[in-house]
Structure 1
């Protein structure tokens, strides 16, 4: 996972957005395309990795210590629009190896800052026990940290990553804290699918005046030389399932909360999952009513029921369509009624010169976007082709 913190104070002077050199107005500059060159350069570096990458972009947007918050002159609407713009830049460049992790800070502002389900794959959370270094000096269990935000997080219907997880040793037992947290997660919190230890001894963001001694400059989240703490940390990483790489934001139109399709695994051993369960496609290319070669007969509801009943009876679970048409609504609804999935296809004229005919390309894009918007939440949709 990469935490992408867009500090801009080192950027070249921008006459339209001079505040960038003071870490201000970042979101407005992104929205208006002023930083597209910077975003595109980063996107292409990610693409070149040719490996799945989780990106936690501009986390905790309501935390005043970060310049992409209101501190830097950004509103919640600015932030959401900038997040969406960044995702679209990646999509337009054909970047498909990125999973987007959105990380809120205050439970009360989640709805205000959430970029939208179609632009987010995972929810990231900061789950840190500061102990005596907390704002009130109190030691908190993981349960105390997570419970206040859990109800709102679960409403978003996304897998949860503890993107900053850990505890200091300031006022309590690190090993016991980690052991209790692991037990609580595995027994009671099924939505948490991954955790990332915040293993740093260079954290300068103190939130109270307490210090362990007069020479300490940074908060220490490391384990020192304690074997019990290392063992507890190792156990936490062992008992949780390995995170699935979800590439649902291949287009900012494709992610839905009503049904979750994802691909997990690694080269040579990928697995398609539908609603969290393994799904092996056993399909039929179903293309009547396309033209005379494919039957060219009306797809009435009665005809669809007869065809899909036969397809289901033969053991298939998926049909493939090659081109949008007037029967789409009936096809999708009847497929859903028969527990069939649909690979929804788009046909492109092979006679078009796609390098030169930019008008035709744009028309295709507009049409596809419109159709995906129209059908993306239908439970029968398995994918696009």
Structure 2
């Protein structure tokens, strides 16, 4: 019992000092003394469950499990992309219902170019990336990427992209949504003219444990997963949405500056959303990372009890939502604090900076978009190499 108590204290100290100056100094000293790299250098604590505290037992097992899961994902991914397409697959490029939209730097370009060679038969591929990083990719793979994409545009050649970056404070997490906004601006008309139904937005370094399931969904336009008002999402990393909802995704970049980085939201970061959308979001987007009144979810919620606690106070949340709607959302930050009370969250992050996963989840639900559980299609971990 005593050893377990000491381990728990030590674990908490290590977790909360991992990214501070003290944590960095500790790792430098260990390396200098010849103790080898710490486990945090091999795997970030951010990749672990928040409640993993016992470094000698649970954490070690969690690390082992996740590393092996990533190895399995990478191996399955490689086996998939290096094999020939099944003979039953034919070229549907002229009638495909899906656009695969890749935004941001092209990571794992060798694997990605092979993946493109397969999926270009069932999906139209568009890329909005950075020329500075694209030019560093070996010419052989650049040619494959250019050949298999319908169009490829660079942020450095987009005057509006540059103007926004120079006129506003565009933090790291904002760039991908600015690129999404610009990609929609450039290609929306083309997508509509080609009768595209679904926009599948992804990063180039995604690993899939079940790529054939995803491939079939891409071929039929995600018809069993996506419709107007309903998307499938793995947080803000990979998601598919119906083209009828494209305005919602285009306009997110404006809401980032006018709403989520506005002083009113920073002072009191809560406005009610219909509670049914909160419940439906489980597994789709990380709405629980936002702040909620303690009267809904208690003082110290975690990801395991958040939805249970919120469900227990569903009628209270619904009554507050209706009252807030009746007064036409006219409350400022101070008035909302008096009305809703103290806030808490399962994950504390500063509201003075932009946290993309948290705000993306809030924005989708605030606009009535239901995100289905990502495990139905996006079951592989993100490649970290």
TM-score, structure 2 length as denominator?
A: 0.22
Q: Which one has a larger percent strand, Structure 1 or Structure 2?
A: 1
Q: Which one has a larger percent helix, Structure 1 or Structure 2?
A: 2
- Greater radius of gyration (CA): 1
Higher relative contact order (CA 8 A, sep 6+): 2
TM-score, structure 1 length as denominator?
A: 0.22
